[in-house]
Amino acid sequence: MIDFKEEIAKKISAITNIGFDEIKQYIEIPPNVEMGDYTFPCFKLAKELKKSPQVIAEEIKPQISGELIEKVEVVGGYLNIFIKKSAFVVDVMNEAIAHGKNYGRTLEKNDKTIVIDYSSPNIAKPFHIGHLRSTVIGNALYKIYKFLGYNVIGVNHLGDWGMGVCRTIAGYNMWKDEYDFSENPINAILQIYVRYNNIEKEDPDFKIHATNVLKKLEDNDEETTKIWKWIIDVSLQNYQKVYKLMNCEFDSYNGEAFYNDKMDRVVNELKAKNLLVESEGAMVVMMDEDIPPCMILTSQGTTIYATRDLAALLYRIDNYNFDKCLYVVASEQSLHFKQVFETLSKMGYEEYAKRCEHIPFGLVLDEDGHKMGSRKGNATTLEEIFDESISKSLKIIEEKNPDLEDKEEVAKKVGVGAVIFNDLANSRIKDEIFDWNQILSFNGETGPYLQYTYVRTRSILRKAGNVPTEADFSLLNDAESYEVVRLIGSFKETVEAAASKNEPSIISRYLLDLAKSFSRFYNEHQVITDNKSVQDARVLLTKVTGDVIKEGLGLLGIQCPEKM
C-alpha cells in the first residue's frame, strides 16, 4: 500500500531541507474531506524558516504536485492536499482485500515490551462498577498494543492485602455461622465486610480485631492464611465470570501480597542512598517542586501503597525490562503516581521512571452524580449491570426479531458491548453517568448501532451470494464510496494514534464515523445491481467496511453477532 503521508513528507522535506521524520509527524488528516485528504500546518516551520506560514505554504504549493496529487490549496497557512482519488481507492481496497482480517495489523513482532496495570479489584467484594473503567480501558489498550506488534504484559494487581481484607477475615471469624456461603459466597463475604465497617465507625476500638488478623497473616498463621486464600479464590471466581463476558485477559495476577517479601529492598535502597527522612515519626522521601513527601514507612514502621508500588516497579524492571509501564487508575490517584515515579527516579532508575505513565480516567457516577463505592454496600456489581443489559437487549430483540436464531447469545454480545462502548465512546478523562436509554439505543453513537452496521454488511454479502476476491475498484468513483474508502485507509493510523495517546475513544469515534459514512453510501447506491463489475466493487467495499468495524470493536473488547 502506498504510504501517501510518507510520499508527501518526502516532498516537503526535500523542498524545506527539514528532516523527514519531523515533517511526517506534522501531517494531519483533516476532519472532513472538503479540507483535503491530508493537511500540513506550515506554522510549525515558521520559526525554522523565518517566514510566515502563509508564505511558506505558497512556496511549497507548486512544488509538491505529481502523479499522486490532484490539487493543493492554501488556507490560512495550511496546505490542504488532495490526492488522486482513483489511485487512492484502488490502492486502499487492494491492500485491504490482500490482507483480509490482518488489514491494519502489525504482523512483525517488535522488541518493545509494554506492561499495563489495570482492573485490580479489591478481593472480598463483588466486582463492582467502580472497577469498570480501569478494566475496560486497560483491556482495550492491551489489545491495541498487541495489534501493533508489541510484547504486552497485562497485570491485574489484585488488592489482596491490608486492613480491608483483614476486616473481612475478622468478621468471618466472629459471624461465619450466621451466613450462608453455599449459594453466593462473595455476597455473604461482602455483607460481613460492610457489617464490620459499620461497627468500627461506631466503635473505633473494634479495629483491633482486624489488626490482630493482619499480625497473624504476617506470621503465616495456618488457619488465618487458609481463610485468606479461600477469600481470594471466591473473589477470583466472581471476577473471572465478568472477565469472560468482557473478553478480558491478563498475563499476571500478582497482587499486593506478592510483594510482601520484596519491600525490604525498597527500604534498604532508599536508606543506602540517604533518601529516607523522618517526618512526624514516619519515613518519607522528599519531593521536588510542590509535591508533598512520599511516605514509605508509617510512624508504626509499616509499609503502605507507595512502598508496594515501588516494589512492584523494581520487580517489573527486573523481570520485564519494560519500555512502557502504564497504570490505568482513576484520576484521583494522580498525586500518588507522581510521588512513586519521582521516588523511583531518585533511587537511580531515571530512565525507567520516564517510561512509567499514569493513565487517568473519570469516575462512574450514579444518577445523582455520586461516586459508587462498596464500603457502604451500595455499589452496583458489574455482574448485575451486565445481566440487566443482556436482559434489556433480549427484550428488544424479541420485539424486533422474535425468530432470530441464538437470541440469548446475540443479546449477550449486544448487552455487554453496549456497556463497554458507552464507557469508551468519549475521552477517558470524562466522568461517566449511566443512562440505559442511551446505552442500548440502536441509533446514535452507541455500541448496538455499530454492531447493527456490521450485521447489515453481512446481510448484504449473503444477498450477493458468492463474494468476489477482486474487482475494478476504479468504479468506486462517487463521493460516498470515496469517503468510506478514505476512512478504511486511515484504520491503522487511527489505531496508532489511540496507542500514542493511550486513548481508546479515538477508535470509538473512528468507528462511528465509518458506520455513518457507510450508511450514507448504502442509502445513495445499490450494492446489488445489474452491472456485475460495479456490484463486485461495492460488495467488496461492503465486506471490508464490515471487517474493519468488527476488528475495531474487537480492539475495544466488543464482539459482533452475525445477525440481529
pLDDT tens-place string over residues 18-72: 999 999 999 988 888 788 989 999 998 998 899 999 999 999 999 887 778 989 9
The predicted-structure confidence for 113-172, as pLDDT tens digits, reads as follows 999 999 999 999 888 888 899 999 999 999 999 999 999 999 999 999 999 999 999 999
Mean pLDDT score across all residues of the chain: 93
First to last CA, the chain: 34
CB atoms within 10 A of CB 556: 27
Write the DSSP string, 403-437.
T-TTHHHHHHHHHHHHHHHHHHSS-TTS-EE--HH
Distance of CA 495 to the CA centre of its chain: 11
Domain C-terminal end among 61, 83, 105: 83
Global pTM reads 0.91
- Residue 117 buriedness (CB in 10 A; 0-12 / 13-18 / 19+): buried
Q: Name the helix (H) or strand (E) containing 200.
A: helix 185-202
Least confident segment among 102-111, 205-214, 385-394, 444-453: 102-111
Q: Is residue 70 in some structural domain?
A: yes
Torsion of CA 552, 557, 558, 559, to 10 degrees: 90
Cβ–Cβ under 8 Å, residues 156 and 118: yes
Q: How many CA atoms lie within 13 A of 419 on its CB side?
A: 27
Q: How confident is the model at residue 374 (pLDDT cuts 50, 70, 90)?
A: very low
| Residue 207 resides in a domain | no
Last residue of a domain, one of 48, 65, 83: 83
Query: Which grid coordinates are listed for 331?
Result: 484520576
Q: Quickly state the pLDDT bin for 539 (edges 50, 70, 90).
A: very high
Helix (H) and strand (E) counts in the chain: 22, 12
Candidates 144, 155, 166; CA nearest to 120 is 155
Residue 467 lies in a domain: yes
Q: Given a cut of 90, is residue 201 above it in pLDDT?
A: yes
Neighbouring-strand partners of residue 28: 39
Query: Residue 377's pLDDT is what?
Result: 46
Q: Is residue 222 part of a domain?
A: no
pLDDT of residue 300: 84
* pLDDT tens, position by position, 403-439: 999 999 999 999 999 999 999 998 999 887 767 777 7
Cβ partners under 8 Å of residue 351, min gap 6: none
Task: Confirm if 482 and 85 have CB atoms less than 8 A apart.
Answer: yes
Specify the CATH number for the domain of residue 464: 1.10.730.10
> How many domains, the chain?
2
- Which has the higher per-residue pLDDT, 380 or 44? 44
pLDDT of the residue at 220: 93
Asked whether the predicted pLDDT for residue 553 surpasses 90, the reply is yes
Q: What is the mean pLDDT of residues 458-463?
A: 97
Q: What is the pLDDT of residue 375?
A: 43
* The pLDDT value given to residue 441: 77
16 within domain boundaries: yes
- Please count the other Cβ atoms lying within 10 Å of the Cβ belonging to residue 111: 8
Return the bridge partners of 381, or none. 128
Per the document, the length of the chain is 564
Domain at 51, CATH number = 3.30.1360.70
Q: Which domain holds residue 455?
A: 382-555
pLDDT surpassing 60 at residue 229: yes
Q: Any idea which residue has 512483525 for its cell?
A: 108
Residues pairing with 74 in the sheet: 79
Q: Hey, is 190 helix, strand or coil?
A: helix
Closest CA to 45 of 82, 13, 8: 13
Backbone φ and ψ of 327, nearest 5°: -115, 105
DSSP character string of 339-392: HHHHHHHHTT-HHHHHTEEEE----EE-TTSPBP-STTS-PPBHHHHHHHHHHH
Residue 445 lies in a domain: yes
Per-residue model confidence as pLDDT tens digits over 278-324: 999 999 999 987 899 999 999 988 889 999 999 999 999 999 999 99
The answer to whether position 441 is within a domain reads yes
From 28, 62, 83, the end of a domain falls on 83
Residue 459 has a pLDDT of 97
Return the pLDDT at 430: 87
Helix, strand, coil abundance in the chain, percent, nearest 5: 60, 10, 30
Q: Which residue matches cell numbers 463497554?
A: 420
Q: Is residue 277 part of a domain?
A: no
